């Protein structure tokens, strides 16, 4: 095999052989990561995972609500929730959705989302290059440039 790494085929794919590329201590699997199809698939999967994290967060928040109710101890609310789950779970879901909608509305109304995006775009080098190009074009055009603001 003379130093080659053999990767077991996945989902019926043939076995791949490639030489590892070592770059400052990080092993990069040359053939697999150089393929545009695999880069696109990897990025697509990463986006799917990032999107699913949001939904998993909703489920975790609901579970935290139940843990909180259970931690309240021996009180009428705990008894009601855990003795009547058919009635209490839909009520908790409706309250959760209403609370989330109100919180999201307030977030939009007070402009937190816009400010968050503005701050994030300032740290994004691609967007800063685009802004710099727009500013340069604006300076060249002079008074003829009108902003969409």
Instruction: Indicate the pLDDT class of residue 15, thresholds 50, 70 and 90.
Output: very low
* 94-145 confidence digits (pLDDT tens): 998 899 899 989 988 888 888 888 887 777 788 788 888 888 888 888 755 5
Q: Residue 60's pLDDT is what?
A: 92
Is residue 59 scored above 80 in pLDDT? yes
Distances (CA, A) of 122 to 77, 111, 117, 127, 142: 47, 17, 9, 7, 24
* 60-101 confidence digits (pLDDT tens): 988 998 899 889 888 888 888 889 989 998 999 899 889 989
108 CB-side CA count, 13 A: 5
Is residue 146 scored above 80 in pLDDT? no
Instruction: Report the candidate in 12, 11, 28 with the shortest Cα–Cα distance to residue 20.
Output: 28
Tell me the two tokens of residue 137. 């074009």
Q: How many Cβ atoms from other residues are within 10 Å of residue 81's Cβ?
A: 19
The Cα 134–Cα 149 span in angstroms is 14
* 28-42 confidence digits (pLDDT tens): 455 555 555 688 888
In the chain, pLDDT over 90 holds for what percent of residues?
Answer: 13
Q: How many Cβ atoms from other residues are within 10 Å of residue 80's Cβ?
A: 14
Is residue 10 scored above 50 in pLDDT? no
The reported pTM is 0.49
Cα-atom radius of gyration of the chain, to the nearest Å?
A: 26
20 within 8 A of 27, measured Cβ to Cβ: yes
């Amino acid at each position: 095999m003379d130093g080659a790494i053999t990767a077991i085929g996945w989902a019926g794919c043939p076995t791949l052989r490639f030489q590892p590329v070592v770059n400052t201590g990080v092993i990069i699997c040359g053939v697999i990561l150089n393929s545009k199809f695999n880069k696109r698939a990897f990025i697509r999967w990463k986006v799917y995972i990032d999107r699913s994290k949001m939904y998993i967060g909703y489920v975790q928040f609901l579970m935290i609500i139940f843990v909180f109710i259970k931690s309240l101890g021996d009180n009428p609310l705990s008894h009601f929730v855990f003795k009547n789950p058919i009635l209490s779970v839909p009520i908790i879901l409706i309250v959760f959705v209403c609370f989330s909608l109100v919180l999201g509305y307030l977030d939009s109304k007070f402009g937190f989302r816009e400010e968050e995006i503005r701050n994030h775009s300032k740290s994004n080098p691609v967007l800063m290059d685009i802004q710099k190009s727009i500013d340069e074009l604006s300076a060249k055009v002079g008074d003829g440039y009108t902003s969409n603001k």
